């Protein structure tokens, strides 16, 4: 039988790199869509670069998507590309709307025109629940986004549902709660903390500057979550699924645990600065993934404590390697 082909937008990102790995392991031919940049940013995929086909495109450019679909004829498309940082969406709201919202329509419309049998996954977000109207949040919880990013993701979710209902596309929206890893971008709070802890432990920094310590998130481990994306596209019918651990922890708890893991007390190092506060905050997220458990057989495998320890250990090892490498001095 011919190999199944999967196309991943955002393959250079955290989730894209893990998804590419698991799809390769499942025997897929993987086509990674990348946007051009003046410097190479393949850190997360360098170990699998020779096993995947990299194709240039941009979410802002409709014909680049049409071209990629025509040329590579995927069976499944995973749309993970986005302007994904909430804080930046407040200073770049229009760009965020163009990529994170309208980018989804560009891909859906390209699929409709080129090959409507392609199965489509949209990377929706718990940020859509924003100022939550019920706890825990499920697929039926109304949205109340609190950032231009959240608003854009609500658009992306509904246009996915709309193309499913209007044109019969196999278009699925995965509403994923926060998921982290050693490949998380340094600007997100978990990685900022674990990298900061490692720097302090190694004597490279004396403080860690954060914003709101009381915000609560449902944090899972990214490799567990990309498996759910694949499971969603193997279902006979497209649908919406919440993916979450069902536990919520504050930024303060994350910091406390991360510092404690290297024998330090976070209160001696964490400094708060209004620069890292948001014009509107999402105070509490906690998801109920019962539907995914029942229909997909999916459950998280990594605990909050394991996640924190794994990220701190990875950052310590990374910095030690960099300190030993003269190119980083």
Q: Indicate whether 211 belongs to the interface with ligand GDD (CB under 6 A).
A: yes
Q: Indicate whether 195 belongs to the interface with ligand NAP (CB under 6 A).
A: no
Contacts for 134-143 with beta carbons within 8 Å, 24 or more apart?
Answer: 135/284, 135/286, 136/244, 136/246, 136/286, 136/287, 136/288, 137/242, 137/244, 137/285, 137/286, 137/287, 137/288, 138/242, 138/287, 138/288, 138/290, 138/291, 139/175, 139/240, 139/241, 139/242, 139/291
- The reply to whether 121 belongs to the active site is no
* Minimum distance, C-beta of residue 150 to ligand GDD, in the bound complex (Å): 8
Residues 267-326 that bind ligand GDD (CB under 6 A): 276, 278, 281-282, 285
77-116 mask for ligand NAP (x: CB under 6 A)?
---xxxxx--------------x-----------------
- The reply to whether 18 belongs to the active site is no
* Minimum distance, C-beta of residue 77 to ligand NAP, in the bound complex (Å): 13
Q: Indicate whether 13 belongs to the interface with ligand NAP (CB under 6 A).
A: yes
Set 17, 84, 124, 125: catalytic member: 125
Q: Which is it for the CA torsion 255, 261, 267, 271, positive or negative? A: negative
Place of tokens 């086509």: 31
Window of 59-67, 204-212, 236-244, 308-316 that interacts with ligand GDD by CB under 6 A: 204-212
* Three-state SS letters, 190-223: HHHHHHHHHHHHCCCCCCEEECCCCCEECCEEHH
Set 127, 182, 227, 256: catalytic member: 127
Supply the residues annotated as catalytic: 125, 127, 149
Which residues of the shown chain bind ligand NAP in the complex (CB under 6 A)? 9-10, 12-16, 35, 37, 41, 58-60, 80-84, 99, 123, 125, 176, 178-179, 185
């Amino acid at each position: 039988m011919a190999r199944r082909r999967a196309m991943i937008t955002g393959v250079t990102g955290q989730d894209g790199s893990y998804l590419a790995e698991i799809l390769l392991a499942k025997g897929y031919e993987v086509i990674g869509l990348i946007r051009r940049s003046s410097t190479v940013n393949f850190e997360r995929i360098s170990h699998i670069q020779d096993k995947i086909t990299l194709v240039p495109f941009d979410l802002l450019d409709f014909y680049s998507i049409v071209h990629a679909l025509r040329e590579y004829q995927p069976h499944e498309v995973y749309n993970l590309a986005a302007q994904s940082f909430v804080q930046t969406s407040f200073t770049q709201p229009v760009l965020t709307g163009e990529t994170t919202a309208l980018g989804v329509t560009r891909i859906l419309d390209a699929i409709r025109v080129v090959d409507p049998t392609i199965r489509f996954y949209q990377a929706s977000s718990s940020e859509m629940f924003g100022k939550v109207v019920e706890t825990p949040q499920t697929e039926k919880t109304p949205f109340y986004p609190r950032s231009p990013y959240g608003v854009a993701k609500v658009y992306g979710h509904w246009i996915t549902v709309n193309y499913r209902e209007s044109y019969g596309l196999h278009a699925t929206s995965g509403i994923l709660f926060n998921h982290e890893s050693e490949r998380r971008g340094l600007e997100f709070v978990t990685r900022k903390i674990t990298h900061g802890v490692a720097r302090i432990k190694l004597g490279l920094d004396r403080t860690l500057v954060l914003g709101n310590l009381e915000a609560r998130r449902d944090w899972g481990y990214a490799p567990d979550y990309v498996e759910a994306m694949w499971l969603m596209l193997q279902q006979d019918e497209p649908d919406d699924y919440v993916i979450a651990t069902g536990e919520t922890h504050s930024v303060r708890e994350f910091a406390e645990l991360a510092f404690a893991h290297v024998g330090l007390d976070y209160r001696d190092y964490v400094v708060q600065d209004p620069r890292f506060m948001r014009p509107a905050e999402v105070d509490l997220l906690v998801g109920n993934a019962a539907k995914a458990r029942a229909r997909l057989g999916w459950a998280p495998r990594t605990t909050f404590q394991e996640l924190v320890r794994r990220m701190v250990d990875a950052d310590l090892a990374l910095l030690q390697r960099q300190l030993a490498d003269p190119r980083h001095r």
